Chains A and B, each alone.
Chain A
Amino acid sequence: MEDSYQTILTSLKSRFQFEVQEFRGDISLVIVPEHVVDICRALRDEFGFEMLVEETAVDYWPQETPRFHVVYGFRSIANNLLLMLRVPLNGNAPSLPTIESVYPNANWFERELWDMFGIRFDGHSDLRRILMPHDWEGHPLRKDFPLGYEEVQFSFNFKEIDERKPYAKS
Chain B
Amino acid sequence: MENIAQSGTTIQDVSFDEVKHLVSQRALDGETILLNMGPQHPSTHGVLRLLLELDGETVVSCIPDIGFLHTGIEKNMEAKTYQKAEVMTDRIDYMNTVGNNLAYCMAIEKLCELDVPPRAQAIRVILVELQRIASHLVWLGTHALDLAAMSVFLYCFREREMILDILEMCGGQRMMTTYIRPGGLWRDTPVEFEAAVRQVLEIFPARIQDYEALLTKNPLFIERTRNIGYLSPQDALAWGITGPTLRAAGIPYDLRKAQPYSGYEQYEFTVPTHTDSDTYARYLLRMEEMRQSLLIVQQALDTLPYGPVRSNNRKYVPPPRSELSTSMEAVIHHFKLWTEGFTPPKGSVYSAVESPRGELGVYLESDGGPKPYRVHWRTPSFTNLQILPLLSKGVFVADLVAIIGTIDIVLGDVDR
Contacts and interface: CB of A to CB of B under 8 A. Distances in A.
A2 B238 CA distance: 26
B274 interface: no
Interface in A53-96: 53-54, 56, 58-59, 71, 73, 77, 80, 82, 84
Contacts of B378: 53-54, 56, 73
B69 to A, nearest CB: 9
Contacts of B315: none
B363 A56 contact: yes
Interface stretch (B13-21, B121-129, B160-168, B205-213): B13-21
B251 interface: yes
Given A24-B347, A104-B238, A134-B14, A58 B373 contact: yes
A159 B161 CA distance: 54
The 6 closest A-B pairs by CB, nearest first: A56-B376, A131-B67, A105-B240, A131-B70, A23-B347, A50-B237
A53 B359 contact: yes
Contact of B76 (A23, A24, A26, A147): A147
Interface in A108-162: 108, 116, 126, 128-135, 140-141, 145, 147
Q: Chain A interface: which size bin?
A: 35 or more
A130 B66 CA distance: 7
B415 interface: yes
A134 B383 contact: no
Contact of B251 (A24, A53, A77, A128): A77
Interface of B: 13-15, 18-19, 21-22, 66-67, 70, 72, 74-76, 79, 110-111, 113, 237-240, 242, 251, 253, 258-259, 347-350, 352, 359, 361, 363, 365, 373-374, 376, 378, 382-383, 386, 415-416
Contacts of B239: 104-105
Given A84-B350, A108-B386, A140-B72, A54 B18 contact: no
A77 to B, nearest CB: 5
B62 to A, nearest CB: 14
Of the listed residues A80, A82, A129, A130, the one surrounded by the most CB atoms of chain B closer than 10 A to its CB is A130
Contact of A126 (B22, B251, B415): B22
B348 A131 contact: no
Contacts of B67: 129-133
Given A131-B67, A140-B75, A103 B347 contact: no
Contacts of A26: 348-350
A39 interface: no
Given A107-B386, A132-B70, A82 B415 contact: no
A80 B14 CA distance: 41
Contacts of B363: 54, 56, 71, 73
A54 B350 contact: yes
Contacts of A128: 18-19
B143 to A, nearest CB: 24
Contacts of B79: 147
A52 interface: yes
26 contacts: A23-B347, A25-B110, A53-B242, A53-B352, A53-B359, A54-B361, A54-B376, A54-B378, A56-B374, A56-B378, A58-B373, A73-B363, A77-B237, A77-B253, A80-B258, A80-B259, A105-B383, A107-B386, A108-B386, A126-B22, A131-B415, A132-B70, A133-B13, A133-B67, A134-B14, A147-B79
Contacts of B347: 23-24
A51 interface: yes
A145 B113 CA distance: 32
Nearest to A82: B350
Contact of A73 (B70, B350, B374): B350
Contact of B75 (A73, A108, A133, A147): A147
